[in-house]
Structure 1
Amino acid sequence: MIAVVDWVERVCRVRQWRQDGRRAPHKPLLLLYALGHFQREGDAPIRFRDAEEQLQLLLTEFGPPRRSTMAYPFFHLRTDGLWQVTGARIEPSAAALRDGDAAGRLASDLVRALRDDSTLVVRLARAILETNFESSLHPDICQVAGLRLDPAGEVAPLPVPMPARDPEFRERVLIAYEYRCAFCGFDGALGRSPVGLEAAHVRWWSEGGPDETANGLALCSLHHKLLDLGVLGIGADLTVAVSDRFVGRSRMARAIVHDLSGQAVLRPQRGHPPVRADHIAWHAREVFKGRTRPAA
């Protein structure tokens, strides 16, 4: 029997394909969807034609801004020993998977392990999320994948040590930006404690982004989330970029998102480095969605 620690290590090895800093989170997203399906339906097969729309939504929302399809991971994940497919042809196109009524399911030995340990689903999901995506996106990914991370009872810590984040990163970044959101200037506090302010990685920590001020921005909670989703970005001229795909019809949406387009990003105080150009370029290529909306 494969131990829990080995299963966690195996899913962590299903890392995204990478070349020159480009990310392709297809396999991790498929695994998260399959784990959510197991929570709801057990070992029932996942027909590609039934799951395609939701899988594509996962890739569109949380993958890079490039056209792609979930047909490739649906076919190729089997090579990682975690997945099996029936009805698939040699050519893993979406049309071929539909025509062959292809269906996938988690590998039988993994299914047995999931049935023997009711906490394993959550442990595996947490490992996949932590090694592939920014933490601000985890709840949204789980919602689209149909995955619950709040099972009854306590969930033991992950048996595999995960790379440690620098606990001082947040404080260094907030100090550099004098406890203000670099996009909107929000500087709320409760007593002496900042409220609603976070330290955001421009190049994701899960993608090799360092815990350094030159890769960080102090942002309010909303603008941090929008940065990680690709609604907001940073231009090469250090102005705020707003995606033309973002739709906000209310006066408030225009005020807190649309009107940021073209506004200067707050610079850190003297003695602290601004965000490095290569991290800005990575975010523009791998996260930011669509084109930059013209300044108001």
Structure 2
Amino acid sequence: MQEQWLARVQKLRRWSRDGQRAPHKPLLLLWMLAGFRPVAPGRSHSPSWRSPSASCSATSARAVASHHPEFPFPHLTNDGLWAMTDATGADARPLGTAVGRLRSAGAVGQLEPAFEAALPADPTLLAAAVRALLDANFPASLHEDLLARCGLALEPVEAAVAEAGRRRDTAFCAAVLVAYEGRCATCGFDDWLGGEVIGLDAAHVHWRAIGGPDSIDNALGLCTLHHRLFDRGVVGLADDGTVMVSQLFVGRARAAQAQVLSLAGAPLLSPQAGHPTVADTHRGWHTEQVFREPARLSA
């Protein structure tokens, strides 16, 4: 039974156009799963969602501004994970997607009852469903922040699933760190311990979860700090090969000045000879879909 529900989660249909991201569906579903609580043996409760709202589309990286954030409210019913009823308890799908019409009818959305019933029956299903949502829609550097925002702490089974995913990425990570000679492409951080690189990641420019390839021309060697800031849209890549820093980022401490603000306009470290730099298509995707414009002027 778990396989059936996980297959639906993994096949969640997202709006897309020319590589644009629309994370509203997975975010709403993640929020609902975070609110799921068993209340007694054989019983459970998940929150209902009234009045489609832009708040459900809040994310730590930029979403598609032209896509209506209320769309997941009715459209999740097409994925077999969501039920929507009006104030009388009748199926609200015939009401369509108009926000005003749904509100007037007292429309309420909640997890599909069979899915909700399956969660307490299988203690590993919740963790597996959340992990599937995160892996299919967001880079790993954002997972912790998204879980914290939802107030969700996963069981040890989630850690085991995550560890398996990390093992699959070993070859790609090793190749990127070789290309960038074990250094952060933005700040030059290059620490080692006992012959091993520490605090350095292989970062996808065009997110793997959104179709980005495991290739050197879609990667950067980044320290853990700048990897997270890169995936949050604080740091970006300019056309001229320099680092961009968002004007929306605020940091008044010396550490923020030294580690983030001073990077504005600084040259990006290139990979060693024989390895490609970031392809324009991948850089452009990150600028359009993730970076929080406008960019700061050079210090």
In which range does the TM-score fall when normalised by the shorter chain?
0.7 to 0.9
**Which amino acid is the alignment partner of residue 47 of structure 1?**
W
Q: Which of 199, 206, 209 lines up with 1:206 in the alignment?
A: 209
> Quick check: 1:226 aligned with 2:224?
no
Cα drift, residue 16 of structure 1: 2.3
Q: Does 1:66 align with 2:68?
A: no
Q: Is the 8 A contact 1:12 1:131 kept in 2?
A: yes
Equivalent residue, structure 2, for 1:140: 145
Letter in 2 for 1:11: V
Contact 2:14-2:23 at 8 Å conserved across structures: yes
> In structure 2, which of residues 115, 119, 122 is the aligned counterpart of residue 114 of structure 1?
119
Q: Deviations over 1:112-158 (max 9, x none)?
A: 11121121111111111111110111111111123221x2x646977
Q: Read off the aligned partner of 1:78 and give its amino acid letter.
A: T
1:195 to partner: Cα distance: 1.1
How far off its partner does 1:92 sit?
3.6
Alignment check: 8 A CA contact 1:65 1:285 kept: no
1:236: how far off? 1.0
Tell me the SS of whatever aligns to 2:203: strand
Q: 1:183 to 1:287 in 2, by over 3 A?
A: same
Aligned ranges 1:188-267 → 2 under 5 Å: 188-267=191-270
TM-score by length of 1: 0.88
Q: Is 1:86 aligned to residue 82 of structure 2?
A: no
Other structure's SS at 1:217 match: strand
Unmatched runs of 5 consecutive residues or more in structure 2: 87-91
Unaligned runs of 5+ in 1: none
Contact 1:183 1:266 (C-alpha < 8 Å) held by counterparts: yes
Moved more, 72-81 or 277-286: 72-81
**Structure-2 change in CA distance of 1:251 and 1:154 (3 Å):** closer
Moved more, 242-251 or 219-228: 242-251
Change (3 A) 1:265 1:228: same
Contact 2:35 2:47 survives alignment (8 Å): no
Q: Percent sequence identity over matched residues?
A: 43
TM-score (normalizing by structure 2): 0.87
Alignment check: 8 A CA contact 2:242 2:266 kept: yes
CA distance in 1, matches of 2:10, 2:267: 39
- Cα distance change on mapping 1:54 and 1:270 into 2, 3 Å: same
Instruction: Verify the 8 A CA contact 2:203 2:220 in the aligned structure 1.
Output: yes
Q: How many residues align?
A: 287
Mapped contact 1:261–1:294 kept (Cα < 8 A): yes
Q: How does 1:27-106 map to 2 (within 5 A)?
A: 27-39=25-37, 42-49=44-51, 52=53, 54-58=55-59, 61-64=60-63, 66=65, 68-87=67-86, 90=95, 92=97, 97-98=102-103, 100-106=105-111
For the residue of structure 1 that corresponds to 2:273, the secondary structure is coil
- What's the RMSD between the two structures over aligned residues? 2.5
Cα distance change, pair 70–292 in 1 and its aligned pair in 2 (3 A): same
Please identify, of 203-212 and 91-100, the stretch whose mean Cα deviation from structure 2 is larger.
91-100
- In the TM superposition, residue 256 of structure 1 has moved relative to its aligned partner by 0.8
Tell me how far apart the structure 1 counterparts of residues 235 and 209 of structure 2 sit (CA, whole Å).
19
In 1, Cα distance between equivalents of 2:194 and 2:182: 13
Secondary structure of the residue aligned to 1:262 is coil
